[in-house]
Amino acid sequence: MSTPSVQVSIVKCKDYEQNLVYQKVKEAVDLLGGMENFVAPGQKVLLKPNLVAGRPPDKCVTTHPSVVRAVALLVSEAGATPLIGDSPQLGAVEKVINKCGIEDVARELGVDIVDFEPVTVQNPGGKIFKSFTVGKIIKEVDGVINIPKLKTHALTVLTLAVKNLFGCIPGARKAQWHVKTHEAGIEYFAQAILDLHYFVNPVLNIVDGVMGMEGMGPGFGDPRHLGFLVAGPDGVAVDRIICELLSIRVNRIPILTVALREGYGVGKLEDIHVVGEKLEDLRVSDFKLPRGEDLPTKIIGIFKKPLKAYLTTHPVIKQEQCAACELCCKACPLHCIAAEEGALKIDEDSCIQCLCCIEICPNGAIDLKPGGLLRAYQGMKNFFGEV
């Protein structure tokens, strides 16, 4: 029998009361050997929450401020200096942290908020992607602690520990990555995320799953009380255990599918030692994933383009909810959203389905519409089961 190669801790946490969250985050980290096992006195440590957009904490779009506060306190108590940083797709991080409540935490604890000034770095250990443009701060600190929010994501199905480090790509450059990888498909994009995650190589991942988001995440899904925190030094292992907690098969998650096939991190259950709560005591059986997924068949190249609209989901604007703020126009890497006859419309032929528009819309005014063949395929699945 093989010896478990990595630990992942699970602790219950019923709500976001500050003292409770501190105790529970500390418990999760202590199960792994304590914060002193991950940071040392005198080090500068970047705390990287999910700060994708400026929304209130109760919307479950961003990492809850109580969790960020608890991690910052534990880092300080270990003698290191915490910094807080991320790079939202649009807008300055200072504006986002103000709206999501983390500015108050930074002010209370005297923690600096850092910008992600871009710098190009080499990644010789990458399996495919040998360089990245990341926030300069990534190379200046002694370690990174990754603090994701447990959410669904219309493109990658879930956004957890591995996906959260896509935020290390500064601002609008994220959209450029979607353009760069879209022709090769979602698994190629997943490989980019994995190469980036293990380039940044966080010393610890602590996932905020007290309140998660299900349905049409990452910006306007439905808040869902889950009541747990999950922590571990390996991002793939943490994400794998969360899939078990949510009763989601690994082959539904592109990042984990690629990780297991290509040997990123620790993704096999027999190699992960769970400490703390038992999986079966917290497992959820009815967690709702985003609607729609591309047909899992390989379509012959000459048919891909003409059948694209029928085989995939694509974003559509719900005009009754659209405030015409045009943030989606700014976020779209190919500029295929424009005003037409007094309303914003998406050019489906040009759209690469990166879903940046859905992520950035402050009003939940953009939805996903499945193509006709995809609807038929999903109907068959519902009737016959997996096909």
Measuring CA to CA, which residue among 113, 37, 31 is closest to residue 68? 113
DSSP, collapsed to helix, strand or coil, labels residue 42 as coil
Looking at domain 6-282, its CATH class is: alpha beta
Kindly state the tokens that stand for 272.
């992960």
Distance of CA 202 to CAs 60, 93, 121, 197, 280, Å?
23, 20, 16, 8, 28
pLDDT of residue 283: 97
| Span(s) in the chain for CATH 3.30.70.20 | 301-384
What are the phi and psi torsion angles at 260 (to 5°)?
-70, -40
What are the phi and psi torsion angles at 44 (to 5°)?
-100, 125
> How far is residue 18's CA from residue 115's CA, in Å, rounded to a whole number?
26
HSE at residue 7, side-chain half, CA atoms within 13 A, is: 15
Residue 146's DSSP bridge partners are: 48, 205
Could you report how far apart the first and last alpha carbons of the chain are, in Å?
35
> How far is residue 143's CA from residue 139's CA, in Å, rounded to a whole number?
9
Residue 229's DSSP bridge partners are: 11, 208
Angle between helices 186-200 and 254-262 (to 10 degrees): 70
Amino acid at 63: T
> How far is residue 354's CA from residue 358's CA, in Å, rounded to a whole number?
9
Alpha helices in the chain (DSSP H): 18-30, 65-77, 93-100, 102-109, 137-140, 161-164, 173-181, 186-200, 235-245, 254-262, 279-282, 301-311, 327-331, 356-360, 372-384
- Apex CA 40: angle with CA 36 and CA 45, to 5°? 105
> How far is residue 163's CA from residue 200's CA, in Å, rounded to a whole number?
12
The CATH code that applies to domain 301-384 is 3.30.70.20
| Span(s) in the chain for CATH 3.40.50.11440 | 6-282
pLDDT of residue 185: 79
pLDDT of residue 301: 47
> How far is residue 203's CA from residue 167's CA, in Å, rounded to a whole number?
17
Residues 173/21, Cβ–Cβ less than 8 Å: no
- For the stretch 233-246, what's the b/e string if a residue is b when 16 or more beta carbons lie within 10 angstroms of its beta carbon? bbbbbbbbbbbbbb
Kindly state the tokens that stand for 245.
């907690």
Measuring CA to CA, which residue among 206, 278, 283 is closest to residue 243? 283
Query: What is the helix (H) or strand (E) element at residue 225, kind and residue range?
Result: strand 222-232
Residue 207's DSSP bridge partners are: 230
> How far is residue 158's CA from residue 175's CA, in Å, rounded to a whole number?
18
Amino acid at 232: G
Digits of tens for pLDDT over the chain (387 positions)? 444 589 999 999 999 999 999 999 999 999 999 999 999 999 999 999 999 888 899 999 999 999 999 999 999 999 999 999 998 866 678 888 999 999 999 999 999 999 899 999 999 999 999 999 999 999 999 999 999 999 999 889 999 999 999 999 987 677 777 666 666 778 989 999 999 999 999 999 999 999 999 998 888 899 999 999 999 999 999 999 999 999 999 999 999 999 999 999 999 999 999 999 999 999 999 999 987 554 444 444 444 455 455 445 678 888 988 988 988 888 787 788 888 887 888 887 778 777 777 777 778 788 777 655 445 545 554 545 443
- DSSP class of residue 287 equals P
pTM metric for this prediction: 0.85
> How far is residue 270's CA from residue 368's CA, in Å, rounded to a whole number?
37
